[in-house]
Structure 1
Amino acid sequence: MSSGLDAQRLLIFREIARAGSLASAARSLGWTQPAVSQHLRHLERQAGTPLVLRRPRGVQLTEAGQTLLRHAEAIATRLRLAADELDALVRLSAGTVRLAAFPSAGATVVPAAMGLLADRHPGLDVRLREAEPPQALALLAAGEVDLAVTFAHPAPRPDAASGPGAALAPEPETAGASDLVRMVVGEDPLMLVLPRSHPCAEPADVPLPLGELAGEKWVGGCERCTANLLAVCAGAGFVPDIRHGSDDYVLTQALIARGLAVGLLPRMALDAALDPGVAVRPTAGLRPRVLYVSHHRDADRVPAVRGAVRALLDAMAAPV
């Protein structure tokens, strides 16, 4: 067996496997069938074993052929990524950036970032999918999106500062794949939302301790948000009476506006849509949820992805 395999012949072999026959592969490549057959024979000599079995209606991969095909597919993928990266280096506007973002980000900072990208790089194709953080990270790990905008509620730690000092510090993604990284891009404070007629609705700019609402009915949110509500209320010394559950911040506010409950919503959700029937007050002693942008470890070398991250950072920093 040769010390190395010819990369071009590996790609020809991949086309034979995909096409199912030498004749079909030759047509796809624009070559003659004898030329394709010759390359296959050379590759089999290099491999030291047959890679295909000739059948009346095509070819069947041997076990060695199936093994080699996996590597040929990986080489083809890397070559395609290399071509995309080179093209992006030459013409940033030729690239495509696919984003996944949770709903309130998708209604606020992400459209602002997309607008910035449209102004800076008019030909860049930017596509958005709405997805909660676990689904967004799954899409990213599967290669279906290039960037995932997510959030996480910090574990209650009264002694920890939550200022913006570390807002741009990168850290490894721990939610699954080892080749993903995430960057902290901002914070989203949690706000108490009450009916306008509630005795605690004013003063709007003064933080309200959670304990003041211990006897109220509450609206819970998504699974993570409800878990956070239970945790912060436990820290305030009570168990909230959660009567309703919705991850739709418009519905949540509609229930609150009609005096049916109170709730805890992130500022970003209120920026997206604010019901005139609710009052909003800051909370005392609660840390904001943390906002992240995640991507594959090498993706920040792609100018289109790097430009999208820059636009997201600029949109996060812009005043509402």
Structure 2
Amino acid sequence: MKDIGFSHLDWNLLRSFVTIAQSSSITDAAQRLCLTQPAVSGCLKRLEEQVGYRLIERSSTMFELTEAGRRLLHEAIDITAAVSRLPASLGEAEKVLTGEATIVLASHVESPEFDAALACFHQRHPQVGLTLKVEASREGLAMVAAKRADMAVCVVGDSNLQLEYTLLFQEHFGLYCGPSHPLFGREDLSVSDLNGFASVGYLAESSNRALHELTALRQRCGLKPDLVGRSHNLEEIKRMIIAGFGIGPLPVHVVERDCAAGRLWRLPPFEGTPQAGVYVVTQPAALRTRIADELHRVFSEQVAAHPPESRIYGGADPAPEQGRGARPRPLAV
């Protein structure tokens, strides 16, 4: 490469470039970085100006790394990994980490990466106590911003630019009914068959932009606009659906076992379903405590170890025995 002058290279631009380069488009990168498309395009342009090379060929039909972009990505991945290891290296003098950690998470977080990160953190730091709090996503973000929690794992609508976001997984939502519902067990349904039925939903649908699609789905299916049941908690939404209050949206991968057990039945549509990103949210590196930094490091390692496509849950149209429900087994409700 040319003589770039790396003493003036913006680290944040380099870190953002790794995400941009591993995305399928500027739009995709903007979603992962929780930034606007113009902001992401601006980051890429400034980095190209600093290094003196065009890094990505992009148009309405093309989004490909140039040779310079591929070489920079290779080096940038090594650099980001090395930087992420610095706190641990500098903290060798204080090898035993003690104290308390608090993670606030949404009620529907079900992810092997999340579970593996917790196990890894405990193995590395067995003397750190961990508190898991289930709260609405908005409350979780507020707690991290106010330093009342070390990390939040939640659905992000409007991002706070003072916080740092890492996409943990992407989940698809489906519509479900319970055993006492007239549509339960029927495989011959279309979207129009849902017209006029009552529904339940999330309190955060009106305030969390990431959940607006659930309201749009309800309107698309002609469900009654006034909800007969609401909650911040997925388990309570599921409880109301099973109890027969009405049709409601649930993350597909979270309720597969309930469908197989005959407690829930998935309804159309099965394509073009709403989806939401669940993010790991922390203070920026300069403001994190050592415990929060260790949590962030462990979760980042798990995310990096699994490609984005493997962290998209519930997107395929399942076979009846896998997702819509086994043969109906009515429950006493």
Q: Does 1:216 align with 2:193?
A: no
Q: Does 1:187 align with 2:173?
A: no
> Counterpart of 2:273?
286
1:213 to partner: Cα distance: 1.0
> Counterpart of 1:256?
241
Q: How well do the aligned residues superpose, as a CA RMSD in angstroms?
A: 4.2
1:86-235 superposed matches below 5 A: 86-87=90-91, 91=95, 93-94=97-98, 97-105=101-109, 110-111=114-115, 113-152=117-156, 175-176=159-160, 178-196=161-179, 198=181, 200-202=183-185, 210-224=191-205, 227-235=212-220
* Secondary structure at 1:103 match in 2: coil
* Secondary structure at 1:113 match in 2: helix
> Counterpart of 1:277?
263
Distance in 2 (CA, whole Å) between partners of 1:296 and 1:150 is 14
1:227 to partner: Cα distance: 4.8
Q: Does 1:306 align with 2:308?
A: no
Distance 1:113 1:287, change over 3 A: same
Percent of pairs with identical residues: 19
Distance in 1 (CA, whole Å) between partners of 2:136 and 2:304 is 20
Structure 1 unaligned blocks of 5 or more: 1-81, 154-173
1:95 to partner: Cα distance: 6.7
Q: If the length of structure 2 is used for normalisation, what is the TM-score?
A: 0.51
Tell me, yes or no, if the aligned pair for 2:177 and 2:247 is still in contact at 8 Å.
Answer: yes
1:152 to partner: Cα distance: 3.9
Distance 1:217 1:203, change over 3 A: closer
Paired AA for residue 279 in structure 2: Y
Tell me, yes or no, if the aligned pair for 2:166 and 2:300 is still in contact at 8 Å.
Answer: no
Rg comparison, structure with higher value: 1
Distance in 2 (CA, whole Å) between partners of 1:237 and 1:107 is 32
1:92 to partner: Cα distance: 6.5
1:99 to partner: Cα distance: 1.4
* Secondary structure at 1:150 match in 2: strand
Distance in 1 (CA, whole Å) between partners of 2:195 and 2:163 is 40
Distance 1:98 1:250, change over 3 A: closer
1:236-247 superposed matches below 5 A: 236=221, 240-247=225-232
Q: If the length of structure 1 is used for normalisation, what is the TM-score?
A: 0.52
Distance in 2 (CA, whole Å) between partners of 1:215 and 1:319 is 29
Structure 2 unaligned blocks of 5 or more: 1-85, 315-333
Tell me, yes or no, if the aligned pair for 1:101 and 1:148 is still in contact at 8 Å.
Answer: yes
Tell me, yes or no, if the aligned pair for 1:152 and 1:290 is still in contact at 8 Å.
Answer: yes
Tell me, yes or no, if the aligned pair for 1:191 and 1:267 is still in contact at 8 Å.
Answer: yes
Question: Deviations along 1:168-215, whole A, 9 cap, x unmatched?
Answer: xxxxxx533x331212221111021112365644577x9x75443122
Paired AA for residue 205 in structure 2: R
Paired AA for residue 145 in structure 1: A
Distance 1:220 1:255, change over 3 A: same
Tell me, yes or no, if the aligned pair for 1:88 and 1:304 is still in contact at 8 Å.
Answer: no
- State the number of aligned residues: 216
Distance 1:259 1:143, change over 3 A: closer
1:286 to partner: Cα distance: 1.7
Distance in 1 (CA, whole Å) between partners of 2:100 and 2:141 is 19
